Amino acid sequence: MSTVTKIIQVTGTVIPVRGNDIDTDRILPARYLKEVTFSRMGEYPFFDERFDQEGKAKHHPFNDPRYKDASLLFVNKNFGCGSSREHAPQALFRYGIHALVGESFAAIFAGNCVMMGIPTVTVSFNKMEELMKLAESSPKTVYTVDLETSTLSYDGKQIRFDLPASSWNALVTGAWDSMSMLRANLGKVKGIASRLPYMTGFRD
């Protein structure tokens, strides 16, 4: 029987990516939507901004060795706008990003993240500017996103963040993981299915 995964804390170093209105086509170029599975999506985040047409690396935070193995992403305003492709958060997650802290997120992108167990929490412009500067000057700083206390902790400091109540509840209860929820309650699912006329051939 599957167990439900509750997302309470995410701890790690950070990749800071500056810029407002970074859309999903920049996060994951459209040509990679043709892939049959998500298995290789971790190779593609910001691909066209990271590499030129000959495949040579360009200057980009995701290419910076100082941020290697980071598990959090700092962003600015309206991150994830544009098309609703779920491939964008899949690419970030498979790259190793397990939480995002930003000024604001596009609603559909944030919803897709929650459905994968990725918190997208928000802080003010001024706080984000402080966080960006610290991440750039001290890339080995470790941060903890704590959903129970709604705080981002680092270097003995704490910053309160915001997260919609529905997203918070889904993450901390494990309801974000719908498949595991179904498997963990398989007996109830079968009981309800047995009473549905379209599951029993409309027999009395």
Topology of domain 9-173, per CATH? Aconitase; domain 4 (3.20.19)
Helices assigned H by DSSP within 1-98? 24-27, 47-50, 87-95
Question: pLDDT, tens digit, for every residue of 53-108?
Answer: 999 999 999 999 999 999 999 999 999 999 888 999 999 999 999 999 999 999 99
Residue of 176, 172, 146 whose CA lies nearest to 12 = 146
Question: pLDDT, tens digit, for every residue of 116-145?
Answer: 999 999 999 999 999 999 999 999 999 999
Where in the chain are all domains bearing CATH 3.20.19.10? 9-173
Say whether pTM exceeds 0.75.
yes
